[in-house]
A and B are shown apart, each in its own frame.
Chain A
């Protein structure tokens, strides 16, 4: 077909769009920023789930139940609440990750469909994953700090090492959250799959992965199950840091395991986001 348009009717100087692609780091930040815009109007609904639960554990198990705990080999001369507090960083982080990385992520695909809108912008699916992880990280830090303040207030803190416990808690949350994001990007419809995760992963892990008592108290054949949970590695790190008993070697091993879970989750999540958003 020949060009029959009169040159005079053509737009002489086609205007240029104002949008421009942004780098990956900036993109992830922009996803975080959008979450923050949402959070400013909705933060109240999230306070209990992110701070309330670990605080309740600290009060009920640490102070209440702990008042009945006699000093033995463990807790090793400290009050039970002091023994418990650092382990509640990874425990709380797992709860926060379970909340932030399941239904809200599925909603981005299935209900609010906000990821579909973002995908039409210069931001790529993989950058959305980074942004979500950045968001989860900031939630983990805020929850950790809030819990730290409560622990300080009830006298459950033994020393400055607890700051490292907070950091290790964040690592634990990310190691658990990244694979959950990959799962949330893969499941359909109503998110029924998450109930299985809560029931058969989060709850048993919370009870048996070393938060309330060392896993050496478990039958020998059960212990390997604890070893593959991020919470156990996080608990070893957090408690070791708080009491100064953490060696460089074991710190590296535990952190390595958490890094492995995080990386595997991240790669899976990027793949699932790409498949689901750009097919």
Chain B
């Protein structure tokens, strides 16, 4: 696709004999929010580093903004923003200085970064803390500052590696809100996450990665309809009772997943299935019917839960 902001074909990253990314094909279109979903070690961060032009690829082809990272790294980096997994702010500078100093690296004038810093401080809701040192800020504030810093060059493409890991729910929602705004402004987002709610909230399209490969791709709704049933019935049993119940449940439905603490039953109608199970003398301690999520998709595709 000629318009793709990021286009990877057979992309490979090796570290010695270990293959972190094992031949992936990805196209990210302008204006979309694209997600890499997968557990730790799936190759998401290695992929992001290659796209961010800070890690040369070991094989395959990669184009970012139509350019080759191996050749045009600085030119590409000038036009993208990167939010790394860990906040790497300069703790010995003030909040405002962090934005200004960083902006200068992008060839921006002092006057521009001064004005831009004020604007970004408002965006990140940090205006009150502008001239405070970074060190005492809360985790959520540091994250917002890191995102603000990545926007100093008005990037066309923003890469976010696990943007909300380690944040409390309120801070996460605040951050999601900011990311939605960016998307509305036309910024293309690439997000890695191992939270399916985050992927469902933020991503127009995503790929599921496992062991360095892409195992599935599509919109969240497509993935759920393709790889999971409409509903999931969760059954919890008294300690020790689960193994005895498994064969009875299996006899009644097409697909179940056994987790250490519960059984997931995949079904079009959870209440119906629950009634049928009662009739078959299956007596869970508690039961819950919910709609399917990307977590179920991931479980189906890899046989594992996302957050181990």
Contact = CB atoms under 8 A, between A and B. Distances in A.
B153 interface: yes
Interface residues of B, number: 44
From A20, A26, A116, A121, name the one whose CB has the most chain B CB atoms within 10 angstroms.
A121
B227 interface: no
B97 interface: yes
Contacts of A19: 77-79, 106-108, 152-155
A122 B105 contact: yes
Contacts of A114: 88, 90
B104 A278 contact: no
Nearest to B204: A5
Interface in A79-121: 112-114, 116-121
A193 to B, nearest CB: 23
Contacts of A3: 1, 29
Contacts, number: 117
A116 B88 contact: yes
Interface string B96-110: 010011101111100
Interface string B62-91: 000000000001110111101010101111
Given A117-B88, A123-B105, A278-B55, A37 B155 contact: no
Contacts of B88: 112-114, 116-117
Nearest to B104: A30
Contact of A37 (B55, B91, B101): B101
From A17, A20, A30, A42, name the one whose CB has the most chain B CB atoms within 10 angstroms.
A17
A76 interface: no
Given A3-B1, A19-B155, A11 B92 contact: no
Contacts of A121: 77-78, 102, 105-106
B11 to A, nearest CB: 16
A77 B102 CA distance: 56
Nearest to B98: A117
Give the interface size class of chain A. 35 or more
Interface string B1-42: 100000000000001000000000001011100000000000
B52 interface: yes
Given A37-B97, A38-B93, A279 B55 contact: yes
B59 interface: no
Contacts of A44: none
A122 B75 contact: yes
A29 to B, nearest CB: 10
Given A16-B156, A19-B106, A41-B92, A120 B54 contact: yes
A206 to B, nearest CB: 29
20 contacts: A11-B30, A14-B30, A14-B156, A15-B186, A18-B112, A18-B153, A20-B106, A21-B107, A22-B105, A22-B106, A26-B107, A27-B105, A37-B97, A38-B93, A41-B93, A112-B91, A120-B77, A121-B77, A122-B77, A122-B107
Interface of B: 1, 15, 27, 29-31, 52, 54-56, 73-75, 77-80, 82, 84, 86, 88-93, 97, 100-102, 104-108, 112, 149-150, 152-156, 186
Given A17-B156, A120-B84, 20 more contacts: A5-B29, A18-B106, A18-B112, A19-B78, A19-B106, A19-B108, A19-B154, A19-B155, A20-B107, A33-B104, A37-B101, A38-B93, A117-B89, A121-B77, A121-B78, A121-B106, A122-B74, A122-B77, A278-B55, A278-B56
The 3 closest A-B pairs by CB, nearest first: A19-B153, A19-B106, A121-B105
